[in-house]
């Protein structure tokens, strides 16, 4: 008998029939003698629809009212799911985030969880209920309702699992696990049996949106055993944990692909001390995340440098660079879109000098030029033009021995917000 947290994404509960399927799964776990705490997202596209609806009435709605609105989506799910479980003859009790004891910081739209007081959850479990908790929401100390940011139900599930010391936190989605790369790009992508938190974090941050990065961070910090699996099949899924076994002879676990990049170049910068501190200080205080930074050689006291930001931050980043021209004189600022960041990720990469060379060679063989490179202990990323990027992902997947003989399972509409 175990204590299990199960999380179902929006597409897993997107229709009456899917809701029934989820309820059946929960009932089966109860029947087998397990205690369960279930976290659900809003059904299907509910959150997006609520956002659209709000915009019709106010183009810039107050963040507090937005949270009041969006939390309704998850509350519909928990009530309907509990009723469905009840109809199968099992006891179920729905709780909102704040009823479940989830306390957050005093921020609307992307609050972090500060504390969980799971008293009511334990009481309900003791009384024989499956406990169904609304994902993505909590409340402040002062009783204000907050949300955790898009995709935040994963975080609710992991945080609850840590707080109640669950044996495992199962994340049910519409793909049957974490893949070595996007199966829609590479047909023979492989489903991974296991992956480490650190590798998953790199993949999650790099656009493999199956798991929310903050949830993975949380799982790592509290050592929560995570399993990502399909709500449509009984397949085993992928375990995410501290140390994951690498198949014999493999160094790369997966390949990520991120279209959300823009490059900004600042040309002919006066090469005086403090230039970088100035530029990146200004970007940081505007809340803009900078990823790759490259400074090229200095010529006649002038330097060029380039950095990448997410596409949605591009215009703001240019405005910031223009605003500090007085402090940091430069000739011009330019930007480039239609880029992709392709990354290979694997815990064994550091100790293997040939890994980078193989990547560069595979890309060179396709006649594609690399615009920027960056590395971390377990990842190597290149920025290339968007158009040939899928071919690059395929070539790398095969170069690192990741291809399988079978075609990957591709589920329904991806459960990615």
- Binding-site entries for ATP: 7-10, 173-174, 179, 184
- Please pick, from the candidates 4, 5, 7, 9, the single residue that binds Mg ion as defined by CB under 5 A: 9
Q: Work out how close the CB of 243 gets to Mg ion at its nearest, in angstroms, rounded to a whole number.
A: 27
Which of the stretches 25-33, 151-159, 172-180, 217-225 binds ligand ASP when contact is defined by CB under 6 A? 151-159
| Residue 25 Rama label (left phi>0; alpha psi -120 to 50; beta) | alpha
Nearer to Mg ion, 151 or 177 (CB): 151
What is the pairing mode between strands 113-116 and 102-104?
A: antiparallel
- Residue with smaller CB distance to ligand ASP, 21 or 150: 150
Residue 153 CB, shortest distance to Mg ion, in Å, is 6
Cβ proximity of 398 and 344 under 8 Å = no
- Nearest approach, Cβ of 9 to Mg ion (angstroms)? 4
Tell whether residue 213 is a contact of Mg ion (CB under 5 A). Answer: no
Residue with tokens 């395929």: 394
Of 12, 23, 67, 73, the one binding ligand ASP (CB under 6 A) is 73
- Residue environment code for 115-138, b if the CB has 16+ CB neighbours within 10 A, otherwise e: ebebeebeebbeeebbbbbbbbbb
Closest separation in Å from C-beta 136 to Mg ion? 8
Contact 148, 160 (CB under 8 A): no
Residue (of 160, 186, 133) closest to 392 by Cα position: 186
x/- contact string, 116-155, with Mg ion (CB under 5 A)? -----------------------------------x----
Q: Which of 101, 151, 177, 213 binds ligand ASP (CB under 6 A)?
A: 151
Distance from C-alpha of 391 to C-alpha of 197, rounded to nearest angstrom: 28
Which of 41, 96, 180, 230 is in the footprint of ligand ASP by CB under 6 A?
41
Q: Give bridge partners of residue 270 from the DSSP assignment.
A: 302
Q: Within positions 98 to 137, which residues make up the interface with ligand ASP, using CB under 6 A?
A: 135-136
Q: Is there a contact between 371 and 384 (Cβ–Cβ < 8 Å)? A: yes
Contact 174, 12 (CB under 8 A): yes
The total of other beta-carbon atoms located within 10 Å of residue 74's CB is 29
153 contributes a contact to ligand ASP by CB under 6 A: yes
Residue tagged 């109860």 (tokens): 30
Least gap, CB of 58 to ligand ASP (angstroms)? 20
Q: d(Cα 138, Cα 316) in Å, to the nearest integer?
A: 31
Which among ligand ASP, Mg ion, none contacts residue 42 (Cβ within 5 to 8 A by kind)? ligand ASP
In the complex, minimum distance from the CB of residue 45 to ligand ASP, in angstroms, rounded to a whole number? 8
Cβ closest to ligand ASP, residue 135 vs residue 346: 135
* Of residues 74, 170, 78, 165, the one with CA closest to residue 130: 78
Q: Interface with ligand ASP by CB under 6 A: which residues?
A: 10, 41-42, 47, 73, 135-136, 150-153, 417
């Amino acid at each position: 008998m175990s204590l299990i947290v199960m999380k179902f994404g929006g597409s897993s509960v997107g229709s009456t029939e899917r809701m029934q399927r989820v309820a059946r799964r929960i009932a089966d776990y109860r029947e087998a003698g397990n205690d369960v705490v279930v976290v659900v997202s809003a059904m299907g596209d509910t959150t997006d629809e609520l956002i659209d609806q709000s915009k019709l009435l106010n183009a810039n709605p107050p963040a507090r009212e937005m949270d009041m609105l969006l939390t309704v989506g998850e509350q519909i799910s928990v009530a309907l799911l509990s009723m469905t479980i009840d109809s199968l003859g099992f006891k179920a009790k729905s709780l909102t985030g704040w009823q479940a004891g989830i306390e957050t910081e005093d921020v609307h739209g992307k609050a972090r969880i500060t504390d969980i007081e799971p008293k009511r959850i334990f009481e309900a479990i003791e009384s024989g209920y499956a406990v169904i908790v609304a994902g993505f929401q909590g409340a402040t100390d002062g009783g204000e309702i907050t949300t955790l940011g898009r995709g935040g139900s994963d975080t609710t599930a992991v945080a609850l699992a840590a707080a109640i010391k669950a044996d495992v936190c199962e994340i049910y989605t519409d793909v049957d696990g974490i893949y070595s790369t996007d199966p829609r790009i590479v047909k023979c992508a492989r489903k991974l049996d296991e992956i480490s938190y650190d590798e998953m974090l790199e993949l999650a941050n790099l656009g493999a949106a199956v798991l929310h990065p903050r949830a993975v961070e949380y799982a790592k910090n509290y050592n929560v055993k995570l399993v990502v699996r399909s709500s449509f099949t009984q397949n085993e899924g992928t375990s995410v944990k501290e140390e994951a076994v690498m198949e014999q002879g493999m160094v790369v676990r997966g390949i990520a692909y991120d279209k959300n990049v823009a490059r900004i170049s600042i040309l002919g910068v006066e090469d005086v001390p403090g230039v970088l501190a100035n530029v990146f200080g200004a970007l940081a205080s505007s809340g803009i995340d900078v990823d790759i930074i490259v400074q090229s050689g200095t010529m006649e006291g002038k330097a060029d440098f380039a950095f990448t930001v997410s596409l949605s931050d591009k215009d703001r980043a240019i405005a910031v660079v223009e605003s500090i021209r007085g402090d940091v004189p430069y000739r011009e600022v330019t930007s480039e879109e239609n880029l992709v960041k392709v990354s290979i990720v694997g815990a064994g990469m550091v100790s293997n000098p040939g890994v980078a060379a193989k990547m560069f060679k595979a890309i060179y063989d396709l006649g594609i030029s690399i615009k920027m490179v960056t590395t971390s202990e377990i990842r190597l990323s290149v920025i290339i033009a968007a158009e040939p990027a899928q071919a690059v992902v395929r070539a790398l997947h095969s170069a690192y021995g990741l291809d399988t003989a079978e075609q990957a399972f591709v589920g329904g509409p991806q459960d990615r917000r």
